[in-house]
Amino acid sequence: MQIGQRLKTLRDEKNFSQGDIEKATGLLRCYVSRVENGHTVPNVETLEKWARALDMPLYKVMYEGDEPPKPRKLANEDDKGLWGHSKKEASELSQLQRHLAKMDPKQRTLLLGFAARLARHAAK
């Protein structure tokens, strides 16, 4: 999900202009435009202001469903052997997440298929 596109969609659904968001949040109109066009990513505090201006809970800015998303399952003792629990692996996972976010769905599918082939090959 591109947060800027989501914010623009929500603003349009409420029939608000960028100027309306500027007045309600105190953010400059040029900043609102930069966010909506994907040139900058707002921090959590800014997203909270934006959600208040749109008169909606913050989760609706980040999630398209009618109800809040279900909480993620926390790691338990059975998960200790899985990859990603060490500090180094967590860092690698974070890097991978950032790179995946920049890919389109077709590229991600291709990469996942490649990873599955590598895993099958390594298991032999």
| Owning domain of residue 17 | 3-62
Domain end among 46, 62, 78: 62
Q: Is the pLDDT higher at 8 or at 89?
A: 8
Answer yes or no: is 54 within a domain: yes
Q: pLDDT by residue (tens digit) across 52-101?
A: 999 998 888 888 777 777 777 766 666 666 777 778 888 888 888 888 88
Same domain, 58 and 102: no
Give the CATH number, domain containing residue 53: 1.10.260.40
Q: Tell me, yes or no, if the pTM score tops 0.75.
A: no
Q: How far apart are CA 92 and CA 77, in angstroms?
A: 22
Q: Is the pLDDT higher at 48 or at 123?
A: 48
Answer yes or no: is 47 within a domain: yes
Q: How far apart are CA 55 and CA 32, in angstroms?
A: 17
Domain end among 62, 83, 111: 62
